[in-house]
């Protein structure tokens, strides 16, 4: 992209989920090209924090369990973005919007006549009326669109923007850490890992059910959620002793090094994964995965080289595959007294 001005990167909520992780790599690439990068994002700790060479503009944005509060905050931030960029944008600047949400930035960019790129990661926006509105703005204000999977591209009916599919990748720092430390040869019990948001549609309750059915296997669930929400989940769900609940961290290498299998149990009737960064991370460590047979995971998981594609709603098939993988292990069974606390701050053990 030819650019002699500034690049304004826009992402609302900075956390440790996949879309800010991918966007952080995009912004780092811009910096390496010698471009002036201005980032608008929330003042929270996530993958968009502390990117070298980026100038930050913190958005007054946060999520609330009360929908009306989140909606008011969302609309306020759009107005904030619209006014701020309308004043600052110059003709040779560019705006790179991450996800479908920051429509205020797109409107300002359209009025100022600057180049716009929109990075699309998912399609789940509710209510439907808001989704239609956001798509309308994107259709008429975005020049280029990047989709993280072919599946995601088919979920939209855009006509005006230039459209490309670019699968996500792992950043060089993550790959360097993999090369430096490599896969630790497990000596303890067979370990199953899942990293996801604390949402029912992510299959968290399928995961805890598997832990109950396989008491000799160690299960580790890293949740992208607040401390209060994690504690509430533990209190209500009461996971079995062989199921550790881990707090989120940007450094996930240790949990991958100790894992034998990585799961993505998203429920396709509630949420179709558009990509799946944890699948890529597991593959980098040579760990087999079980992922949904639809959406983005089906584009990046080769069966059986990388793992298996199983619908988590088909619990019997999922359980049979787990039995197959753990039937003839020579490893010691799970021992509650041998739980490592090095990376876990939450366990009901």
CATH number at 68 reads: 3.40.50.2000
Q: Which of 51-60, 187-196, 215-224, 232-241 has the lowest mean pLDDT?
A: 187-196
Q: Report pLDDT digits (tens) over 1-44.
A: 555 699 999 999 999 889 999 999 999 999 999 999 999 999 99
Are 111 and 237 in the same domain? Answer: no
Residues 6+ apart with CB under 8 A from 330: none
Region of residue 237 (left: phi > 0; alpha: psi -120 to 50; beta: else): alpha
Q: Which of 165, 189, 209 is the last residue of a domain?
A: 165
Determine the angle formed by the axes of helices 204-213 and 227-237, rounding to 10 degrees. 50
Are 161 and 12 in the same domain? Answer: yes
Are 183 and 298 in the same domain? Answer: yes
Structural domain contains residue 345: no
Q: Where are the beta strands (DSSP E) in the chain?
A: 6-10, 36-42, 54-59, 94-98, 115-120, 144-147, 162-165, 191-197, 218-224, 243-246, 261-263, 288-291, 307-309
pTM of the model: 0.86
Cβ–Cβ under 8 Å, residues 26 and 47: no
Structural domain contains residue 312: yes
Stretch 166-191: mean pLDDT: 86
Pairwise CA distance, residues 125 & 61, whole Å: 17
Q: How far is CA 223 from CA 13, 163, 216, 247, in A?
A: 17, 33, 22, 6
Cβ neighbour number for residue 261 with a 10 Å cutoff: 22
Structural domain contains residue 171: no
Structural domain contains residue 348: no
* Both tokens assigned to 251: 């450094």
Are 130 and 215 in the same domain? Answer: no
Q: How many domains does one find in the chain?
A: 2
Q: Report pLDDT digits (tens) over 135-175.
A: 999 999 999 999 999 999 999 999 999 999 999 999 998 99
Domain of residue 321 covers 179-338
Pairwise CA distance, residues 123 & 271, whole Å: 9
Structural domain contains residue 140: yes
Are 114 and 146 in the same domain? Answer: yes
Residues 6+ apart with CB under 8 A from 154: none
Q: Which of 165, 187, 210 is the last residue of a domain?
A: 165
Are 189 and 96 in the same domain? Answer: no
What are residue 127's DSSP bridge partners?
Answer: none
Structural domain contains residue 222: yes
Structural domain contains residue 173: no
Are 115 and 191 in the same domain? Answer: no
Are 121 and 190 in the same domain? Answer: no
Residues 6+ apart with CB under 8 A from 226: none
């Amino acid at each position: 992209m030819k650019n002699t001005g500034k690049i304004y990167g826009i992402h609302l909520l900075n956390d440790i989920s996949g879309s800010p992780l991918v966007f952080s790599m995009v912004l780092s690439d811009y910096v390496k090209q010698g471009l002036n990068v201005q980032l608008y994002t929330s003042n929270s700790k996530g993958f968009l924090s502390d990117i070298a060479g980026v100038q930050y503009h913190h958005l007054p944005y946060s999520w609330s369990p009360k929908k009306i509060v989140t909606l008011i905050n969302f609309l306020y931030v759009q107005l904030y973005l619209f006014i701020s960029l309308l004043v600052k944008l110059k003709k040779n600047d560019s705006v790179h919007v991450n996800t479908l949400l920051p429509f205020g930035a797109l409107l300002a960019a359209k009025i100022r006549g600057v180049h716009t790129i929109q990075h699309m990661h998912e399609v789940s926006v509710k209510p439907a009326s808001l989704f239609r509105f956001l798509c309308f703005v994107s259709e008429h204000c975005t020049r280029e669109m990047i989709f993280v999977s072919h599946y995601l591209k088919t979920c939209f009916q855009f006509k005006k923007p230039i459209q490309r599919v670019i699968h996500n990748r792992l950043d060089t720092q993550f790959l360097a850490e993999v090369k430096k430390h490599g896969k630790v040869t497990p000596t303890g019990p067979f370990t199953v890992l899942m990293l996801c948001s604390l949402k029912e549609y992510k299959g968290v309750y399928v995961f805890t059910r598997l832990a109950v059915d396989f008491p000799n296997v160690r299960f580790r669930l890293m949740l992208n959620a607040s401390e209060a929400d994690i504690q509430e989940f533990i209190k209500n769900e009461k996971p079995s002793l062989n199921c550790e609940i881990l707090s989120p961290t940007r450094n996930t290498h240790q949990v991958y090094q100790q894992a034998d299998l990585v799961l993505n149990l998203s429920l396709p009737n509630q949420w179709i994964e558009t990509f799946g960064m944890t699948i890529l991370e597991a593959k980098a460590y040579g760990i087999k995965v079980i992922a949904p047979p639809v959406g983005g995971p089906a584009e990046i998981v080769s069966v059986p080289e990388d793992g298996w594609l199983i619908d988590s709603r088909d619990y019997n098939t999922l359980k049979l595959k787990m039995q197959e993988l753990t039937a003839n292990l020579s490893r010691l069974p799970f021992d509650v007294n041998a739980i490592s606390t090095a990376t876990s701050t939450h366990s009901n053990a």
